[in-house]
Structure 1
Amino acid sequence: MQLHQQRPHHDIAALFAEAKDYLRISAPMVRYSKLEFRRLVRQNGVQLAFTPMMISDSINNSEKARQNEFSTGPDDQPLIAQFAAKDATEFATSAQLIYPYVDGVDLNCGCPQSWAIAKGYGCGLLRQPDQIRDVVQTLRRTLPTDFSVSVKMRLLQGNDNETSVQKTIELAQQLEHCGVTFLTLHGRTAAQKHSKDTLNIEAMAEVAKSLRIPLIVNGNVESFQDACELHEKTQAAGVMAARGLLANPALFNSDYPLATATPRACVEQWLDIAELAGDHLLFQCFLHHLSFMWSNQMKRILRVQLNSLNSKSQVLEFLDEHCDLRPSVANSTPPVYTNCTYNHFTPPKHSRHLAAEAEEKSCWDAASDGKFFSEFKSQQLSSNNMEDLELGGLFADED
């Protein structure tokens, strides 16, 4: 089919094929995989980035949701848009809307949060493999064949480890046959708690070996060394990081192979990006990333002070005074933001779409703290020692 293209699309399959060892990938993280953060991690070794997970119902039926949830620019590539969708029509509609601005679309079949499963999203779809196959096949009939279509999944539940691995391989091979460009596999089942011990590296290696398409592996990547070791043990085509990148956006930067915390230069890059972004970057998002990156470098009293500030100017004054950190972009040219319009495609509506419009006011507020940062801030308040402050399992659902 013919759809408007805002820019030439990257060949994602070729991107994997041309990688020297493995592709470095930034995960889809609700609230935190926004354009400005993608700009930061791209400056620090990330070769492929995902948008946050977007709810297809909202994107398909609300212009406000599209403008709030998605933004991009000429430098924001290659880029995969991830969606949570219940059926093929819903996902295909989102894909056609976003098509001009991204290089592929990804179906979330990995989110283990109870709200997502209750609504038929995320891990809930793993119970319906026919539905997942239908989604992929519909996309392949709807969009050009060189446009990337992918799925992010977890290990399937089984009576034992062997059964779990075999069921995962079977679904992965079925999706390969249906035409996915690549797959992403988080090495835990939906029921497993987040801890280093529950990550099944051997299972990921078995799945990678069983496929002819690229497999991205995900889990426990908290440093450049972790990423390299996970690639070595699984021989996967790509390694994805989530909370590790929040704690250190320079995780994939080979200039800092032994870094256990965010390098000062990376924090300064974030201040520059935020300064140039102006009103495009919400204050809460700006502050949250700073807190994730730099809290380990501050004592509790300073962490509390930082998180009590309510404007960018106050934060910059605070960092200048207490941390000798400041932006350095006085004469720099602001980045370009693409004017994303969606009049190239009119989404069809049915009863469930109309119901989604009625629920729009109850959607989460991007300007609020959210569960993850609220838990992280609580940990900051209770920890007196800088060394004790970690992201830990707070972002397990995104990893």
Structure 2
Amino acid sequence: MKYDFDKQIPRRGTDSYKWDSAKSGDVLPMWVADMDFHTAPAIVDALCRRVQHGIFGYTRVPDSYYKAITDWFARRHSWAINREWIIYTSGVVPAVSAIIKALTVPGDKVLVQTPVYNCFFSSIRNNGCEIVTSPLVHTDNTFTIDYDDLEKKVADPKMKVMLLCNPHNPVGRIWRREELIRIGKLCIRHEVTVVSDEIHCELVFPGHTYTPFASISDEFLRHSVTCISPSKAFNIAGLQIANIICADACCRAQIDRAINDNEVCDVNPFGVIATQSAYNEGEEWLNQLIQYLHANYLYMQEFCREHLPNFPITLLEGTYLVWMDCRTLGIPSEDIEQQLVDKTGLWLNAGTMYGVEGEGFMRWNIACPRATLMEGIKRFMDFVRNL
């Protein structure tokens, strides 16, 4: 079956956070990280069948849910996950927050590689911990790791957790196996637990390979906790479902306690059903989605190279989030965001949302029909020409 990702699907008026947050109906939102595509038909069909039942009481998570997860990761990513390692919860952000609560005490330090997903900062602060940054190095239109700085930071006795974003949001890196090994060895040496947010793990472009951090070795497995969810890849973020993978029984018990303390231990029936349908029946849809997203990226890359050479976009290895260098404007990112909305109706994310290292950059969401992407680029080009 050929899926139609070019189809324009009106979302305004559906209480979409992405589309209905703007004051004007003329705003084109390319900010929030959800997609403007129908999800896999198998997911929609399964949800429709559940709706037809007509009763939506408290949900028991069945054995088939765990089997769907373990089968998917074994088949697609060669990672053997044991059922007992899995803790379900309502989202990756609540998962990260609960894990930090379980593994730290107020005053401990947590490391992040900036620029990085903005909710990492709030999860650390909300648990009374100190944010420590190890900035990524921007070179040759991509980002790399400063291992000397990383080792210096993780060697601090108060450092307890490193939050890893794999694949990385917003810079689009799919960390290579050898990079993950260097990170892991440093953290294990200094007794720092790696908490890996792998929510974008399915969105990997040709020529790149996603490696689950915990799959590298038994030692890495024991010294890490992984957060996964089908929400980004299958466009079901609103169904509020995610999973924590933790092999160490003691650590898992602490996390389970924190999940309950934070009262994010219950999930809804639709998330449970959608997860099973995604992993059991959604693979061909996902494969075609990745092809379409990659083509969108290549289109944008070529367009910027030809028509916007002073606004290079970072080499995108995965995700659907494009990181654009706008430093040539000499305007703060937050001002660029506001001026784009005011003057053209284009809504992007200011780079500083992801840390001070994001100053001068903007984040684009290209998970949309090609025509929408073309309109967004046109609006940006008009903005630049009229400055």
TM-score when normalising by structure 1: 0.30
TM-score when normalising by structure 2: 0.30
Q: Which has the higher contact order (CA 8 A, sep 6+)?
A: 2
